[in-house]
Amino acid sequence: MASRTCAGCGAALTKDCISREHILPQWLAKEIHQPDISLKQYRHDEDLLPDELLRSHDLGSFAIKNVCASCNNGWMSRLETRAQSLVLNLMHMRSSLFQLTEEQRSTLSAWSIKTAFMIASVQPSISELPWHLFRRLAEEPQQVPVECAVLGAQLPFLPKGFLYSCPTDILEPGGHVVQVRIGFSIHNLHLVVVIPMTEAKRTVRASGVHIPLWPLNVEIRVMYQHLPTVPLASELINVLTQLVEAGIMHRRDVAPV
């Protein structure tokens, strides 16, 4: 059996160093905890309605053992500390995404990418992730991977608590996954992270709901769309995440004149 390695640094995971990493940090899980309400994980399929319930569990047990103690208690903990007050103020509408400084956008995007990788890593439909991009966050605090697009929205009508959606984009005719979009909401804050599964230049198109956060100064096309009324909270998160679209740009070779 091949030895497991830490998602954060690549070191071998042994029983002496393996750590239990919460998908959402404990400070945030306590903030949004609602008694007698469990976290439900669904599989979304356009051809199968309603969504299939995969499992239901308490938010505090939403964790994975794929990082070592050094990463969990080191750079990941420091990133959580930097992002904590920023996330709390945004999710409670005490501050605005439009007023973030470049440093705050960088911090929020780094935290969003880390969280998105953790969410994606527990999805049975996603077999492999570009962990080299995740590990770049460990090298330098400023090395936020520009390959991952991050967009955000503040919406007062979002359900309280934590919800997420993970649609994968498949390139035909090869049929392989080229990217996954991780959308998750925490109270009034909704974030979408595009994780590239293949290396290629991408263009991102958003609705009038989301604003681009990362990369800084990136040009993102906006196409205003009507937000439909949906009866279930799980469907709302799917709709919001699908409003962010990403496509691979193909270069056309031009023959010399």
User: What's the pLDDT tens digit per position in 205-239?
Assistant: 888 899 999 998 877 888 877 777 766 766 888 88
pLDDT, average across residues 185-200: 92
CA distance 150 to 214: 5
CA distance 134 to 102: 20
Instruction: Name the H helices within 74-213.
Output: 75-91, 102-120, 131-139
Query: What are the residues whose beta carbons fall under 8 Å from the beta carbon of 246, sequence distance 6 or more?
Result: 149, 169, 179, 181, 194, 202, 203, 204, 205
Would you say residue 13 lies in a domain? no
Would you say residue 89 lies in a domain? yes
Return mean pLDDT, the chain.
80
Would you say residue 3 lies in a domain? no
Q: What is the tally of structural domains in the chain? A: 1
User: Is 147 a residue whose pLDDT tops 90?
Assistant: yes
User: Is 52 a residue whose pLDDT tops 80?
Assistant: no
Query: What are the residues whose beta carbons fall under 8 Å from the beta carbon of 138, sequence distance 6 or more?
Result: 8, 9, 71, 74, 75, 76
The closest of 109, 178, 104 to 146, measured between CA atoms, is 109
User: Is 154 a residue whose pLDDT tops 90?
Assistant: yes
Highest-confidence segment of 8-12, 15-19, 36-40, 152-156: 152-156
For residue 2, the model assigns a pLDDT of 43
Q: Range of 223's domain?
A: 18-248
Structure token digits, residue 180: 């996954």
Would you say residue 2 lies in a domain? no
Would you say residue 10 lies in a domain? no
Lowest average pLDDT, out of 16-25, 74-83, 196-205, goes to: 16-25
Would you say residue 255 lies in a domain? no
For residue 116, the model assigns a pLDDT of 94
Between 124 and 189, the more confident residue is: 189
Q: In whole angstroms, how large is the CA radius of gyration of the chain?
A: 18
Would you say residue 91 lies in a domain? yes
Would you say residue 28 lies in a domain? yes
Q: Is 187 left (phi over 0), alpha (psi -120 to 50) or beta?
A: left
pLDDT in tens, 16-47: 676 666 677 778 877 776 555 555 555 555 55
User: Is 158 a residue whose pLDDT tops 70?
Assistant: yes
